[in-house]
Amino acid sequence: MRVLLTTNEDDLAFLTQQAQPINPNSENLQLLADRMLTTVNDPKTRGVGIAAPQVGISRQAFLVKRLDKINAPFELFINPKITWYSDVKRYGQEGCLSIPDQTGKVYRSLVIQIEYCDLEGNEHKEVIEGYTAVICQHEYDHLNGVLFLDQIERSEGFNYAKSETKNALYYELLPPTP
């Protein structure tokens, strides 16, 4: 499938719209998932996640590489809703298949709780941590018409405190100063 790009005015207008819910029992859902997987695995567009709006489908579905699971399979999240974000943030580099030749550092929650349906119509409520949580947040933003560059802009002016652990550096949002 063609990946929509922010460098195209019509694509950008589409990418910044709210996606609509999708019927988890749709007969075309497996075909969409297969085509999105092929697109995200294509050497020209390889990534760790892709949202339906990025391939011109304004529906609430995204595919994420589950780096938190054995063999890192891709999983489809249908009508996802992130119901909780940790206050502890990860500050890391992101890029996007829809934003060519640009990367930037983004604050993302290190842990999230997400509810979604899978391809079999089963409902899930799951806590996801680490980089997989970051990928989910990035793709979830696409469903709401938000790009990672918007997230960078939104975080300007916030104060974060560094919190070092054995192998990583995290950030915590500080309360606003009077």
In this predicted structure, what is the pLDDT of residue 159?
A: 65
Residue of 94, 115, 96 lying closest to 40 (CA atoms): 96
138 is in an annotated binding site: yes
Backbone angles phi, psi at 32, to 5 degrees: -60, -45
Is 67 within the bounds of a domain? yes
Cα torsion through 100, 82, 84, 131, rounded to 10: -40
Look at strands 74-85 and 99-109 and give their pairing.
Answer: unpaired
By C-alpha distance, which of 59, 25, 67 is closest to 144?
59
DSSP class of 4: P
* Amino acid (one-letter) located at 150: D
Q: Tell me what pLDDT residue 169 has.
A: 52
pLDDT of residue 154: 81
On whether residue 2 sits in a domain, the answer given is: no
CATH classification at residue 41: 3.90.45.10
Is residue 1 in some structural domain? no
To the question of whether residue 124 is assigned a binding role by annotation, the answer is no
Options 120, 139, 153, 156, the catalytic residue: 139
Q: Give the chain's length.
A: 178
What pLDDT, on the 0 to 100 scale, is given for residue 152? 86
Tally of domains within the chain: 1
pTM for the model: 0.88
Each residue's pLDDT tens digit in the chain (178 positions)? 999 999 999 999 999 999 999 999 898 999 999 999 999 999 988 999 999 999 999 999 999 999 999 999 999 999 999 999 998 888 899 999 999 999 999 999 999 999 999 999 999 999 999 999 999 999 999 999 999 999 888 877 666 666 665 555 555 555 454 4
Q: Is there a catalytic annotation at residue 139?
A: yes
pLDDT at position 161: 63
In a domain, 4, yes or no: no
Residue 96 labelled as part of a binding site: yes
Q: Is 18 among the domain residues? A: yes
Residue 148 lies in a domain: yes
Please name which of 63, 59, 61, 44 lies closest in space to residue 3, comparing C-alpha atoms. 44
Containing structural domain, residue 45: 9-170
